[in-house]
Chain A
Amino acid sequence: MTVHFILKLGACLNRIWVYHNLFVKLLITKKTREDSLAVPINFVEKSPIPSGATMLCGFPDVGLVGVLASSHVISELNLVEMAYVDSDLLPPIVVLHEGLPHAPIRIFGNDDLLVTIAETAIPAGGVQRLMRSFVEWGKSKNVKMMIPIGGIPVQNRQDIEEPKVFGTASSLDMIKLLEQKGVNVLKEGYMVGPQALIMRYCAERSIPAIALLAQSFYNYPDPEASAATLNQLAKVTGIKVDVSKLFEKGEEIRLRAKDVMKRTQRELTKMKKGQEYDLPLYV
């Protein structure tokens, strides 16, 4: 009886401890958010940025679909680094390539294409400000169209041989474009994360934008889903890229991308990414 009582008491104290910690966490999050409003986000341009280019955005999301797609486009089209993002909103990370330090979020490009890639998870606390800055920067460069690439998590992904790609658009004209090109339009549902915010801010700022989202694993790197989005990208924009390496090197990509995927998953959980599974409200 006494042991039972002690355990019960322990459980009660434990609960109090849990709520105390949650409360402290909430206060810290609130303070961090307030502090983050004052942190500047700078786009450091290393070479002249072309006006009127198409801009692809590959931010870490489910299956790292966008990141893998962006990385593949950069490598296949031999794009050069044109700009990078400098902000204290990002973790104190440099990415080393061939011995040289680089910012974790960079923009590559040529005369008519800009490709954004992030090599680390975007902190959930700064995602809104960062994505708004991207859209504003794109607007200042008079981009022709913004195309965020990402994934839609599906639970039976293993049983899907060819992932379907769905599109969302920032305007009715863009929806018509998707329909003309034969892309399935995601008409109802929730989008959560960097891709979702880009679409919302593009709609606000009247920037033509389409998001290409492939059925993907939630928390495993999915190069096949990336290949599927790039095939649709070719249909919609004419930007053609050979995707065979994404299949040939699929296992290698999955192995190397697993740690970025793990960190991305933690941030996605904070963003409540799971809401994409929710049934949309009937309004």
Chain B
Amino acid sequence: MSSSRRRRSIFELINEYIEEMESLAEELLPTERPSWDIQAHTIEPLCNVFVTPDEVVVTADLPFSDPDSIKVEPIDRNTLEISAKIKRKVCCEDLGIIHQRGEFSTFKCQTRIPMPVDMEKREAKFKKGILEIRLPRKKGYEIKVE
């Protein structure tokens, strides 16, 4: 049995370290903030990430969204931004927000990808108002079995 492992650079180690600290901070100190932003006219959709042996699958619930306006853009190597225009006018009152006035026109969220993935090979489909993005995982090294 033989194995070959790619040596990681210092920057990769630093990034990994910072990410670990950030995720720990998020877990221990969950922030309470609204899921909407009146100034930016955006609503943060529900979003979910799950990992399979071959892929990282990101889904987002985008009711009332215009399928042609959906954008999935990598912000960096492990963050994905999802945005979509809302088809109809959604006012604060429609969402039960009485103490403020305004309208929402866009869904927007950023989600962190927990594993190294190939962002360029992402595939997306939109069905029943749910966006599903499949990102193939990067393979680090292989152990040959004899």
**Residues in A lying within 8 Å of B, measured CB to CB:** 3-4, 7, 10-11, 14, 17-18, 21, 158-159, 217-221, 250-252, 254-256, 258-259, 261-262
- A251 near B14 with CB under 8 A, answer no
For the complex, give the distance between the alpha carbons of A264 and B118 in Å. Answer: 32
Compute how far the CA of A218 lies from the CA of B96 in the bound complex, rounded to whole angstroms.
24
Question: In the complex the two chains form, is A251's CB within 8 Å of B64's CB?
Answer: yes
| Interface membership of chain B positions 50-75, coded 1 if the CB is closer than 8 angstroms to chain A and 0 otherwise | 00000000010101100000000000
Min CB–CB distance B115 → chain A (angstroms): 18
- Contact assessment for A7 and B45 in the assembled complex, using a CB-CB cutoff below 8 Å: no
Tell me, rounded to whole Å, the shortest Cβ–Cβ distance linking B26 to chain A.
12
Whether B46 contacts A158 by the Cβ 8 Å rule is: no
Tell me the complex Cα distance, A28–B77, Å: 37
CB neighbours of B35 from chain A (8 A): 258-259, 262
> Contact: B132 with A7, CB < 8 Å?
no
Instruction: Count B interface residues, CB 8 Å.
Output: 26
Q: Name the residue among A7, A251, A255 with the largest chain B CB count within 10 angstroms.
A: A255
**Neighbouring B residues of A4 by C-beta, 8 Å:** 10, 13
Provide a sorted-by-A list of 15 A–B residue pairs whose CB atoms are within 8 angstroms: A3-B10, A7-B13, A11-B17, A14-B24, A158-B130, A217-B61, A220-B130, A221-B61, A254-B129, A255-B90, A255-B95, A256-B95, A256-B96, A259-B35, A262-B35
- Please tell me if the beta carbons of A220 and B46 are within 8 angstroms of each other in the complex: yes
Return chain A residues, CB-CB under 8 Å to B10: 3-4, 7
Closest chain B CB from A266 CB (angstroms): 8
A-facing mask of B9-48, CB < 8 A → 1, else 0? Answer: 0100110010011001000100000010000000101101
Contacts of B61 in A (CB 8 A): 217, 220-221, 254, 258
Chain A residues, Cβ within 8 Å of B96: 256
Chain B 109-141, CB-CB to A under 8 Å as 1, else 0, gives 000000000000000000111101000000000
Residues of B within 8 Å of A220, CB to CB, are 46, 48, 59, 61, 130
> What's the dominant secondary structure at chain A's contact region?
helix
Contact with B28, one of A7, A21, A221, A255 (Cβ below 8 angstroms):
A21
Do A158 and B17 touch (CB < 8 A)? no
A14-B20, A14-B21 known; 18 new pairs, CB 8 Å cut-off, are A3-B10, A4-B13, A7-B17, A11-B20, A14-B17, A158-B130, A158-B132, A159-B127, A217-B61, A220-B46, A220-B59, A254-B61, A254-B129, A255-B63, A255-B64, A255-B90, A255-B95, A258-B46
Shortest C-beta distance, B15 to chain A (Å), equals 11
The reply to whether A251 and B129 contact each other, CB–CB distance below 8 Å, is: yes
> Once the chains bind, are B95 and A158 in contact (CB under 8 Å)?
no
Residues of chain A lying within 8 A (CB to CB) of residue B90: 255
**Interchain CA distance A262-B14 in the complex, whole Å:** 32
Question: What 5 pairs across the A-B complex have the smallest Cβ distances?
Answer: A251-B63, A220-B61, A254-B63, A158-B127, A258-B46
CB distance from A24 to the nearest CB of B (A): 10
- Give Cα A265 to B94, complex, Å: 23
- Bound together, the chains give a CA A8 to CA B24 distance in angstroms of 17
**Smallest beta-carbon distance A276→chain B, Å:** 15
Within 8 A of A (CB), among B79-98: 90, 94-96
> How distant is the Cα of A7 from the Cα of B17 in the complex, in angstroms?
8
Q: A251-B64, A255-B63, A256-B95 are in contact. Are A262 and B46 (CB under 8 A)?
A: yes
Q: Are A158 and B128 in contact (CB under 8 A)?
A: yes
* Interchain nearest-CB distance for A253 vs B (Å): 8
B43, B59, B63, B90 — most chain A CB neighbours (10 Å): B63
Asked, given contacts A251-B129, A258-B61, whether A7 binds B46 with beta carbons under 8 Å apart, the answer is no
B130 and A10 within 8 A (CB): no
Pick the most buried of A21, A220, A261, A262: most chain B CB atoms within 10 A of its CB. Answer: A220
**Chain A positions within 8 Å of B21 at CB level:** 14
Are the C-beta atoms of A7 and B14 separated by less than 8 Å? yes
State the CA gap A251–B129 with chains docked (Å): 8
